[in-house]
Amino acid sequence: SPVERTERRINEVALPSAWPDYDFLLSGTVHWWPLAPPGSSDVIGNPGGLAVETVLERARAITERREPGRVSFVRHEVSGALSTMRPDRSGHVRAMAEDIRLTLRPHDQERLERLAELRKRKAVWEHERTHEQS
């Protein structure tokens, strides 16, 4: 019998951040082991799809609470969270992911950098103004 392929690449799957319209893009390799839930005779036609779904749910639980400007920190957090095999909700597969890449769309990254620069300039301007007034 053919050996079941138990890994699948995901590439730049959009996951929400805490900011509307700023998605994180997740790439990596999902690995899984099929499980037989107790008392189940269900046959899963696409265990890889189930594994990818559970990995994306785990990643989203983190990304949707994180600011997009912290993408490098969030990448390590997501990578750590996905590094262990965990069962999906139905108990049909255990899944994990490795080789995690978490990025932003280039335009979003540039926009965040411009906003950060503007905030810094404003802070300097306000500091200088306060200093001049005293």
In a domain, 111, yes or no: no
In a domain, 56, yes or no: yes
In a domain, 24, yes or no: yes
Q: CB under 8 Å to 52, separation ≥6 — which residues?
A: 8, 10, 30, 95
In a domain, 16, yes or no: yes
CATH number at residue 89: 3.30.479
Q: CB under 8 Å to 58, separation ≥6 — which residues?
A: 81, 82, 86
When divided into structural domains, the chain yields a total of 1
Q: What backbone phi and psi angles, to 5 degrees, belong to 87?
A: -75, 150
Q: Are 51 and 4 in contact (CB under 8 A)?
A: no
Q: CB under 8 Å to 65, separation ≥6 — which residues?
A: 18
Domain span holding position 95 = 7-104
pLDDT in tens, the chain (134 residues): 455 669 999 999 999 999 999 999 999 999 999 887 666 666 678 899 999 999 999 999 999 999 999 999 999 999 999 999 999 998 899 999 999 999 999 999 999 999 999 999 999 999 899 988 87
> For the whole model, what pTM was predicted?
0.83
